[in-house]
Amino acid sequence: MIRHDNPLIVQGDKSVLVEVDSPRYELARNSLIRFAELEKSPEHIHTYRITPLSLWNAAASGLTAQQVIVDLIEYSKYDVPQNVQRDIVEYTARFGKIKLDRTDNPEELYLSSVDPFIIEKIIHYKATIPYVDRIVDANTLVVKAEFRGIIKQQLIKMGFPVEDLAGYQKGDPYPIEILDETAGGMPFSLRHYQIEAVEAFYQSGSVRGGSGVIVLPCGAGKTIVGIGAMEKIKTQTLILCTNVVAVRQWIDEILDKTTVKKEDIGEYSGEKKEIKPITVSTYQILTYRKDKTAGFPHFKLFNSLKWGLIIYDEVHLLPAPVFRITASIQSTRRLGLTATLVREDGRESDVFSLIGPKKQDIPWKDLEKDGWIATAVCHEIRVNLKDHMRMQHAISSSRVQYRIACENPAKIPVIEYLLEKHKDDNVLVIGQFLTQLHEIADHINAPIITGSTKNEERQKLYDDFKKGRLKILIVSKVANFSIDLPDANVAIQVSGTFGSRQEEAQRLGRILRPKKHGEHAHFYSVITRETVDQKYSAKRQLFLTEQGYSYEIIDGENFLQQ
């Protein structure tokens, strides 16, 4: 029997398609997000997936298999395949079979199961043997507390999620409250989805909460979610970011919106080494070492104070050494923040095991519809390669081909035209190759920020841009992340890091903060036709098209003639 009003289509591979135009879409989505992961959300049909992890997360929040199945049947257009129902029951039943509890000794944890066969399996499983300290009885083992993260990782690989009831260390307390009015005198409160995100992470302080990842689009206020979590836990907090500019933005936001005093917040970077109750640092300084064989001297930051919360900003960029140390600090609450949980190295599962499961993921278009992020219009402008360059392009290696295509001088007239068209707007010109960016800077006479630009100068240029003294800013990939330029409403991308989806999304994110007068944001990607630039561009657009954005393809030559 087909129930036409229902939006869900449950497929045998456990993917769930959701028709966005259905009258019951909202209800179905709210139900679905409790036990399925959003995979992609293009314009008409969104795809969710029911995975063991998503079911274990659901089970951890108290949802039963029966409730999951009833909800699927309730909103499903067709019958729910039997194998899917069977798997839901089977996987959900696995949750809670293995538990991790405290012992009297803080350096040890109990790993127990009601099923002695599972314990037997752990004792004999090659990957878990090294972490088992001793056997207590047929149902209980003792493991070292320092292996808490690793053993959870290995047991998930075995197909058994661990219900981690060992809790978290409290960390030294630090009182922090969110202000009703910012230091700048503006009324302030958390938005509804930010409150939901904080609660999804905190779980009323239970051991089931306290570690996880929040996925929100750029401009939707991830920093505020972090501040919300800090207010809930009220403890000394370490915040890790991608660069110094982001560090300072975090500090500014915390000072602007909370009761934290200036003397209690510190910057731990290449320039300053302050360790305060609230410390903000960069991945770069943490992973600094003299040579490849040396240790990481700044890892001591993790133990320098008794942190009760560590916030990982842009968690999708977490470097491998930080992953490793995170495995050993599982007793500290961990919050990951990102807009794109897409790692080009495919290590998303490590983020899950070591930082925590995804706690919230809202389709970008949903926030756009509600006005929390700006409506963005994406364009791809294709220009030709001059004949003499075509020949050079044809005979070059693929890397050189990409460079030739990206640095195509024919892009410059298009950029000039766009700047003229958006002369009253705040425009970012973003690119990968410095020679190209400098050439553009010379042509349009605009300042440029690259990796070699000093932090003071960078900060000054960002401030000028924010205050409207500068209308055009040329930036290299240093501005891909964590740069808060609220009034930027046009981005012109002239080149990128090959087919990086997350870079494209992050760059769009630079212009997504809601505008004062509700105007649209424009994202232009200028590419060279019939070259690798076009091929990579198609790949880069994948993440955004799966978030519901569509690109208008424009012929560059026609565009200029018009």
Q: How far is the CB of 404 from another protein (least distance, A)?
A: 20
What is the DSSP-derived secondary structure letter of residue 81?
P
Among 24, 40, 273, 289, binds another protein (CB under 8 A): 40
The mark string for 164-203 relative to another protein (x by CB under 8 A, - otherwise) is ----------------------------------------
CB of 398 to another protein, least distance (A): 17
Question: In the set 5, 62, 82, 292, which binds another protein (CB under 8 A)?
Answer: 82
User: Residues 521, 511: contact at Cβ < 8 Å?
Assistant: yes
Q: Which of 3, 17, 167, 433 binds another protein (CB under 8 A)?
A: 17
Reported in sequence order, the residue ranges of 218-375 that DSSP labels E, i.e. its strands, are: 237-241, 265-268, 278-282, 309-312, 333-338, 358-361
> Per CB under 8 A, does 124 bind another protein?
no
To another protein, the closest distance from the beta carbon of 45 in angstroms equals 6
Binding another protein (rule: CB under 8 A), the pick from 30, 64, 83, 105 is: 83
Counting every residue, how long is the chain?
Answer: 562
* 79 is a site residue for another protein (CB under 8 A): yes
In the bound state with another protein, the residue whose beta carbon lies nearer, of 349 and 550, is 550
346: helix, strand or coil: coil
Selected range binding another protein among 4-12, 398-406, 482-490, 493-501, rule: CB under 8 A? 4-12
Spatial distance between the Cα atoms of 433 and 402, rounded to a whole number of angstroms: 11
Pick from 24, 34, 39, 43 the residue near another protein by CB under 8 A.
43
Contact stretch for another protein (CB under 8 A) within 75-83, 116-124, 239-247, 482-490? 75-83
CB-wise, 77 or 471, nearer to another protein?
77
Q: Which residues contact 222 (CB under 8 A, 6 or more apart)?
A: 214, 216, 313, 337, 338, 339
CB of 92 to another protein, least distance (A): 12
By the 8 A CB rule, do 42 and 30 touch? no
Our CB check for another protein shows the closer of 86 and 520 to be: 86
| Buried residues in 169-187 as b, exposed as e (16+ CB within 10 A) | bebeebebebeeeeeeeee
* Positive or negative torsion for Cα 506, 209, 234, 191: positive
Q: Is 39 an interacting residue with respect to another protein (CB under 8 A)?
A: no
Assess 342 for contact with another protein (CB under 8 A).
no
User: Among the residues of 210-243, which ranges form H helices?
Assistant: 222-233
Sheet order of strands, 45-49 included: 8-10, 15-19, 45-49, 37-40
Query: What is the distance between the alpha carbons of residues 79 and 67, in angstroms, rounded to a whole number?
Result: 16
State the Cα–Cα distance between residues 305 and 330, nearest whole angstrom: 16
* 117: amino acid identity, one letter: F
CB of 116 to another protein, least distance (A): 24
- Residues paired with residue 113 on neighbouring β-strands, in sequence order: 98
d(CA 498, CA 487): 28
Mark the segment that binds another protein (CB under 8 A) among 39-47, 105-113, 153-161, 215-223: 39-47
Place of tokens 């919360």: 309
CA distance 251 to 295: 29
- When computed from its CA atoms, the radius of gyration of the chain, rounded to whole angstroms, is 25
380 binds another protein (CB under 8 A): yes
Classify 542 in phi/psi space as left (phi over 0), alpha (psi -120 to 50) or beta: alpha
Binding to another protein by residue 539, rule CB under 8 A?
no
Closer of 336 and 548 to another protein (Cβ): 548
13 touching another protein, by CB under 8 A: yes
Asked if residue 394 binds another protein (CB under 8 A), the reply is: no
Residue list 439-458, contact with another protein (CB under 8 A):
none
The answer to whether residue 69 forms part of the interface with another protein (CB under 8 A) is: yes
Cβ neighbours around 138 below 10 Å, total: 11
490-493 and 427-430 beta bridge pairing: parallel
Alpha helices in 138-243 (DSSP H): 148-158, 192-202, 222-233
Which part of the chain contacts another protein (CB under 8 A), choosing from 219-227, 258-266, 363-371, 542-550?
Answer: 542-550
From 5, 100, 43, select the one nearest 549 (Cα to Cα). 43
* CA separation for the pair 493, 559 (Å, rounded): 17
81 contacts another protein (rule: CB under 8 A): yes
Structure tokens at 71: 């909800």
16 binds another protein (CB under 8 A): no
Chain center to CA of 8: 27
Complex with another protein: residue 4 or 134, whichever CB lies closer: 4
Exactly one of 26, 44, 386, 400 binds another protein (CB under 8 A); that residue is: 44
Contact pick of 27, 89, 127, 434 for another protein (by CB under 8 A) = 89
Q: Which of 9, 342, 377, 441 binds another protein (CB under 8 A)?
A: 9
**Is 545 one of the binding residues for another protein (CB under 8 A)?**
yes
**Residue 70 found at the interface with another protein (CB under 8 A):** no
What are the phi and psi torsion angles at 33 (to 5°)? -65, -15
Tell me which of 169, 542, 557, 559 binds another protein, using CB under 8 A. 542
- Contact call for residue 561 and another protein (CB under 8 A): no
Select the span of 184-192, 235-243, 459-467, 550-558 touching another protein (CB under 8 A): 550-558
* Number of residues counted as binding another protein (CB under 8 A): 34
Residue 12 as a binder of another protein (CB under 8 A): the answer is: yes
Rule CB under 8 A: is residue 255 a binding residue for another protein?
A: no
Q: Are 180 and 188 in contact (CB under 8 A)?
A: yes
- Select the residue interacting with another protein from 259, 303, 349, 550 (CB under 8 A): 550
Contact 241, 247 (CB under 8 A): yes
Chain residues in the site for another protein (CB under 8 A): 2, 9, 11-13, 15, 17, 21, 40, 42-45, 69, 77-79, 81-83, 85-86, 89, 380, 538, 542, 545-546, 548-553
